Structure 1
């Protein structure tokens, strides 16, 4: 169905990893979570932020993502991956799916996580999401609103979007 990687972007807590794993199975493609790759090779993301800062983390994130775009796969990115210009430029090599949300279900998903940018919970999350939303929209080839969708419905919407893109290619 696709000879390019499918990259999932969207705010933290929207379900990029969960959707990515299921989508990869559906498309019979390998799945890669860039946050997991970074953690394995560089250590905990919260420590990278604390010790080296966000700019250094965004460099690591971009350095991790760009080589992954060479092969067909499903890739979930961190919520802020789109902040780095090189990452946004590299995403042109992929089919980018933006998982949007109204945010109503996010608070429960964020509990218990160690997320360095949202120390004040959903208030910080909304501010960050609103500031990044134009970048998600800029890089997106397909947008799927996950607000009131089940996992199955989200996967189906992505697959339909990929079919439409391929039919128009």
Structure 2
């Protein structure tokens, strides 16, 4: 079995010398752009790509600016309060951040588990019934008061 490093080296060797025609590059770019746009869905739906709409902006302005920049691979999911960077594996994988790379400050804890519990408590299966999830669970609304109490503590 190949290590991650060996797999990366093989992949690099296989694709590093590929010369695409202009048309082939266009197709490849559309695929990558589509992938990055999917990764940015939380920043679009939850913040409309405006970092200042986030309750976290005062503490993490640079991180949020990059998360709302469609040219950057930084991801922010406002519904579960998670930041990360896309893993280019063709899926939705990401490497989560625990610290702001620009300021070094620890990031607030993820609310992934709490989000799933809250949505499931409404009788909604978040995997199969996405259309039934209330709008306030798709942005920071449901946890804003909780964050305010964390900051004052």
Q: Is TM-score (shorter-chain normalized) higher than 0.5?
A: no
Which protein has the bigger helix share? 1
* Greater relative contact order structure (CA < 8 Å, 6+ sep): 1
TM range (shorter): under 0.3
- TM, length-normalised to structure 2: 0.27
Task: Return the TM-score normalized by structure 1.
Answer: 0.25
Tell me which structure has the larger Cα radius of gyration.
2
